[in-house]
Amino acid sequence: MNILVLCTGNSARSILLESELNAASGGRITAFSAGSQPSGKVHPQSITLLEGLGRDMSTARSKSWDEFAGDDAPQMDAVITVCGSAAAETCPYWPGAPVRSHWGVEDPAAAPQHEWETAFQTAYDILSRRAAALLALPFEDMDTATLKAELDRIGNLP
pLDDT in tens, 38-95: 999 999 999 999 999 999 999 999 999 888 887 788 889 999 999 864 334 455 555 5
β partners of residue 21:
none
Helix (H, G, I), strand (E, B) or coil at 84: coil
For residue 73, the model assigns a pLDDT of 84
**3-state class of 30 per DSSP?**
strand
Which of 154, 153, 152 lies closest to 130 in space, CA to CA?
154
> What is the CATH architecture of 2-154?
3-Layer(aba) Sandwich (3.40)
- The alpha carbon dihedral of 91, 25, 16, 40 has a sign of negative
pLDDT digits (tens, 9 = 90+) for 10-32: 999 999 999 999 999 999 999 99
